[in-house]
Amino acid sequence: MKRLFLLVPFFTLVLSCNSDDDSLPQPEAGDNFYALKVGNEWVYRWYFRQTENQAFAFNGIVDSVKVVGMEDINGHNYYKMRRFTHGNSETNLSTPSFENGEAFYYLKDSLGYLVDNNGFKHFNISNHDIFLTGVHGDLNDYKRLTKNVVTIETEANTFECLELELFSVSNIWQSPSHHHYYSNGVGDILRQIGFTNSPFHNWERRLESYTIQ
pLDDT reported for residue 13: 36
Residues of the chain with pLDDT under 70: 1-30, 90-94, 196
User: What is the total residue count of the chain?
Assistant: 213
Q: List the helix and strand counts (H, then E) for the chain.
A: 0, 14
Burial 31-47 (b: 16+ CB within 10 A, else e): eebbbbeeebbbbbbbb
53-74: pLDDT as tens digits:
888 889 889 999 999 999 999 9
**CB-count exposure of residue 7 (10 Å: 0-12, 13-18, 19+):** buried
Other C-beta atoms closer than 10 Å to the C-beta of 202 total: 19
pLDDT reported for residue 10: 28
Q: Please, what are the domains in the chain?
A: 4-211 (2.40.360)
Give SS3 for 179: strand
pLDDT reported for residue 138: 86
Q: State the Cα–Cα distance between residues 140 and 69, nearest whole angstrom.
A: 34
pLDDT reported for residue 93: 54
